[in-house]
Amino acid sequence: MSHLSAFRTCIAAIVAVAVIGCASDRPETMTEPIGLQLVKKEPSLKGERFSNLLAGEEDSDLVFVSTNAALPRRDAKRAHTGRSSIQIPAGVGRVTFKLSSLLAGQSFPADWTLVGLYLYATRPTTASLSYWENEQILAAGSTTLRANKWSPLFVDLTSLTQSAHSSAAMASPNLVLVLDLDGPGEVWLDDLMLVDNTKQLVSEKDAGEMFDSWSIQRKGYQIVGDAPGRFRFSFATPERSDQGWTVREANAMRLWLTSNGTKKNELIYSDGRVYVDGQYSAIGMPAKGDPTLAEQHASPAELAVAPELGRVVRQSEGDANNDGYNEMMGTYELLATGPRLEVRITPRSSKLSRPVFEIRGLPPGKVLANLEGRMVERLVRLDDGTLLMELPARIERPTTLSLRVGE
Ligand SMILES: [Ca+2]
Ligand SMILES: [Ca+2]
């Protein structure tokens, strides 16, 4: 490797925000900085800010690691990224990392949402990682390592950043990470790092003047929502809990979450109406002040669509009784066969209050919709072209909704 190319590698490493050493005299052809290798290996890091504190590339890395039994050593046999990792001999139950020293004066937790590392075991092993300050445990996470595979194990720091600890500008000198291992064999670890995985899913400005304002963020292993002055919520993600939730859709109108846990499906609308596995409730205003929302969920309207323009969809997943009203989503389901649709809405035993429609099959373009002369303004187009539409009024008698896609 020439000095020039080594210099370039160094620059690239800095650009990639990877905090790694820049030794210019390594004999190996380390063509890619570890920061880039990490993003290739762990695509979820793409677009996220991270800082690698311990890459397992130098014998001096071992200074930051201690165990309750045999000594760790650097091992070139395996690497998550780079040339080597740190091998923990069989029989070691606890590995301690001097986090304060690794941080070398950086503020912490600052904006970091996760701290953790990658682990490799040859036999299934239970691994727990905990974060300690002054001998007090502040955050923890655990996983079961599958054999012969690198697995991430990270601790969510967001509860710390929300507490008084966020004001600490400098890292305390007494921060440690403790890795507890319960398994029959050796374990390798690599790439101990800080990550800021904060992602704005919906911002208050997305609401415009049309929708009830809210914001939704993924932060650490939580989905956090805030409708200022009206309601807040947070959900664990699957990384934190086997009951955790995955975002299927997030926009100014609603958040759709699914889970493999006991509860499977949750829709939260920005006006405070909520549907959990088809059961309606209200978590905030204005929905809390509107009893019709519960009544119409129990007794939805009858719909009729001019057959040359489309049809009511009665077989959507979540429509409990195939009447075109999907209890799981809280929406009426329609399919358009062209750019126009006319829907006759006939309330049954309940009046309707701001009913929501999901309309598939419309061509791309601007949607103009009106309810007997009144403009429908609460519209969202999803990436797959589906139109979400909330009607602006109470409907007490048969009423016609007309819409078309214009230029
Ligand atoms: Ca490494
Ligand atoms: Ca139904």
Q: Which ligand is nearest to the CA of 21?
A: 1
Question: In the prediction, which pLDDT does 401 show?
Answer: 96
Structural domain boundaries in the chain: 3-196, 199-289, 298-406
Q: Which ligand is nearest to the CA of 188?
A: 1
Q: Which ligand is nearest to the CA of 30?
A: 1
Question: In the prediction, which pLDDT does 2 show?
Answer: 40
Question: In the prediction, which pLDDT does 167 show?
Answer: 46
Nearest CA-CA partner of 331 in 368, 297, 370, 294: 297
With 0-12 / 13-18 / 19 or more C-beta atoms within 10 angstroms meaning exposed / middle / buried, residue 366 is exposed
CA–centroid distance, residue 350 to ligand 2 (Å) = 14
CA–centroid distance, residue 322 to ligand 2 (Å) = 5
Contacts for 133 with CB less than 8 Å, ≥ 6 apart? 165, 172, 174, 175
Question: In the prediction, which pLDDT does 20 show?
Answer: 42
CA–CA separation, 255 and 237 (whole Å): 14
The domain at 3-196 falls in which architecture? Sandwich (2.60)
Output the DSSP codes for 163-216. Answer: SGGGG--S--TTEEEEEEEESSS-EEEEEEEEEE--EEEE-GGGGTTTS---EE
Question: In the prediction, which pLDDT does 170 show?
Answer: 62
Low-confidence ranges of the chain (pLDDT < 50): 1-29, 166-167
Q: Which ligand is nearest to the CA of 76?
A: 1
Residues 245 and 202: beta-carbon distance below 8 Å: no
CA dihedral of residues 163, 168, 169, 175 (deg, nearest 10): -110
CA–centroid distance, residue 343 to ligand 2 (Å) = 17
Q: Does the domain spanning 298-406 belong to CATH 1.20.1070? A: no
CA–centroid distance, residue 52 to ligand 1 (Å) = 10
CA–CA separation, 396 and 346 (whole Å): 8
Mean pLDDT computed over every residue of the chain? 90
CA–centroid distance, residue 172 to ligand 1 (Å) = 26
308 three-state secondary structure: coil
* Amino acid present at 229: G
279-282 and 310-312 strand pairing: unpaired
CA–centroid distance, residue 142 to ligand 2 (Å) = 41
Q: Which ligand is nearest to the CA of 84?
A: 1
Question: In the prediction, which pLDDT does 90 show?
Answer: 93
Contacts for 6 with CB less than 8 Å, ≥ 6 apart? 22, 24, 25, 26
Residues 191 and 118: beta-carbon distance below 8 Å: yes
> Angle between the 34-41 and 3-15 helix axes, to the nearest 10 degrees?
50
CA–centroid distance, residue 151 to ligand 1 (Å) = 14
Cα 269 to Cα 11, 205, 233, 327: the distances in Å are 47, 16, 12, 14
CA–CA separation, 76 and 148 (whole Å): 16
CA–centroid distance, residue 304 to ligand 2 (Å) = 15
Q: Which ligand is nearest to the CA of 55?
A: 1
Question: In the prediction, which pLDDT does 21 show?
Answer: 41
Opening angle at CA 270, ends 224 and 401, nearest 5: 150
Q: Which ligand is nearest to the CA of 118?
A: 1
Residues 74 and 62: beta-carbon distance below 8 Å: yes
